[in-house]
Amino acid sequence: MGAIVDSVVENSIAQELEIQKGDEILSVDGQKMTDMIDYNFYMKSELVTIKLKRKNGGIEEIEIEKDFDEDLGIVFESAIFDKIKPCLNHCIFCFVDQQPKGLRDTLYIKDDDYRLSYLQGTYITLTNLTEKDKERIKRMHLGPFYVSVHTTNPELRVKMLRNPNAGKALENLKWLRKNKIPFHAQIVLCPGINDGKELERTLNDLAQLKNTVLSTAIVPVGITQFRQEKLKRVDSKCAKETIKIASKFKRVCCSDEFFLLADEPIPPAKYYGNFCQLDDGVGALRLTYDDFKKLKLPKSVSKPYKMIFACSYAAKNMLEKVSEKLSKIKNLTVEAHPVKSNYWGEDITVAGLITTDDLIATVKDVKCDTVIIPTVMLRPYSEDFLDGKNLDYVREKSGKNFFVQKNIYSLKEVIKFIETI
């Protein structure tokens, strides 16, 4: 690995220095770096010297004068420059373990790295946290972290994660509180295992940690047709019970899927507080729809035009309401077309897992001028889907034009696109 440059920001110091993709930062002020935490720390200076290895093998030392907090404008291939700390668990609900062969290589990587949790908001279990890790976290006062708690019952957590170290969860969480390290908690709810009374126990234990727990998100277990573990799906009864239990506690939110499964309305914005766990599907529908209601819509478009939202089943109801309002624009017709997941199975309802063939099957026979898809269907900074095929393939096979919505929590880009019609 290493601090390999992926790209540089336009008009940045890095661009002025002609730093290019493939170059490697070997050190800053003589200090080697293991991750972006080190890099950000050492760059806090008005005068730095970087040792740079060009992609052609040449070594340079460059002295740079800059503002104290000014960034060089380098985007690295990875936030981790040494080896990523792997996940040592074998969770009964692990999504990675139930994936078939043939998907992108990165989808099979199981990380459990506190650095990625701090830098990028990925969830960690704390089962591989060493004393050296704790010393660094305490010394640099890193945080907040995103912790997959699931249960605070030691025996049950060992069973769920299939790791003898998993039983130390509450002990580690108390260590975070003692050292004033805040965290967001996640609970993957598995009916008949960590729901009901076990869920209440977990939420009560987390409540004892007070404001160290910034938020708690409860999400339903994801079950695909490839899963070999026998797990129950979250049904309407379980969803209703979970929502009721969660309502007894502060800063605890159920993901949008629970309300859809319970056939209950999505809560108002105040339920979600600061929308701390949007990437876990907690409040995404509310945030997007409330943002849409604030947007000013054009009165008409210049010609008859039809566009469709190719969306997840989770977003179906919300986008049907949006489509109804957009269709009141003169000459414009808008529809929501949820993509059925034949690949994973009908229980998978999120946009990030939609495959090319399922998308093509949904849109190819629909007459429209443009298909709108959210960027979460694609690998970051690319047009690649999780099955390894790309948007050009979908265009060719479907015969459709596509508009990729980059901000999945706002429809402002879509409105601007409509204004160009």
Residues 398, 401, 404, 409, Cα dihedral to 10°: -90
Q: How many CB atoms lie under 10 A from the CB of residue 91?
A: 22
Last residue of a domain, one of 222, 253, 282: 282
| 144 in a structural domain | yes
Mean of pLDDT over the chain: 93
Bridge-based pairing state of the strands 330-338 and 300-311: parallel
Within a domain: 289: no
Percent of the chain whose pLDDT exceeds 90: 85
Tell me: pLDDT of 39 over 70: yes
H or E element that contains 371? strand 370-374
268 lies in a domain?
A: yes
| One domain for residues 278 and 392 | no
* Each residue's pLDDT tens digit, 382-392: 899 988 899 99
Q: Are residues 278 and 305 in the same domain?
A: no
Q: Which of 227, 255, 282 is the last residue of a domain?
A: 282
Residues 101 and 244 occupy one common structural domain:
yes
Residue 111 pLDDT = 86
The reported pLDDT for the residue numbered 105 is 60
Q: Does 413 share its domain with 303?
A: yes
In a domain, 238, yes or no: yes
Do 69 and 100 share a structural domain? no
pLDDT of residue 95: 72
Q: Does 117 share its domain with 224? A: yes
User: Domain of 11: which CATH number?
Assistant: 2.30.42.10
Mean local confidence (pLDDT), 223-231: 70
What residue numbers bound the domain in which 245 lies? Answer: 96-282
Q: Is residue 245 part of a domain?
A: yes
Q: How many CA atoms lie within 13 A of 64 on its CB side?
A: 28
Least confident of 31-35, 98-102, 271-275, 307-311: 98-102
Answer yes or no: do 134 and 244 share one domain: yes
Name the helix (H) or strand (E) containing 239: helix 236-246
pLDDT above 60: residue 107: no
pLDDT value at residue 386 = 85
Whether 206 is covered by a domain: the verdict is yes
Residues 276 and 152 in one domain: yes
Q: How far apart are CA 193 and CA 229, in angstroms?
A: 13
Q: Tens digit of pLDDT for each residue in 235-250?
A: 999 999 999 999 999 9
**CATH code of the domain in which 397 resides:** 3.40.50
131 and 273 inside one domain: yes
The structure tokens listed for 249 are 């506690």
pLDDT for position 103? 64
Report the range of poorest mean pLDDT among 43-57, 94-108, 140-154, 202-216.
94-108
Instruction: Return d(Cα 84, Cα 81) in angstroms, integer.
Output: 8
CATH of the domain at 213: 3.80.30.10
Q: Are residues 260 and 129 in the same domain?
A: yes
- Please report whether residue 91 resides in a domain: no
Tell me what pLDDT residue 368 has: 97
Say if residue 218's pLDDT is above 80.
yes
Q: Which amino acid is at 217?
A: A
Q: How many domains does the chain have?
A: 3
Domain end (from 282, 310, 331): 282
Q: pLDDT at residue 100 above 80?
A: no
Work out the angle between the directed axes of helices 316-326 and 284-294 (0-180°, nearest 10): 10
160 found inside a domain:
yes
This prediction's pTM:
0.89
pLDDT, average across residues 271-277: 94
For the chain, first and last CA: distance in Å? 46
Residues 123 and 225 in one domain: yes
Residues 131 and 161 both lie in one domain: yes
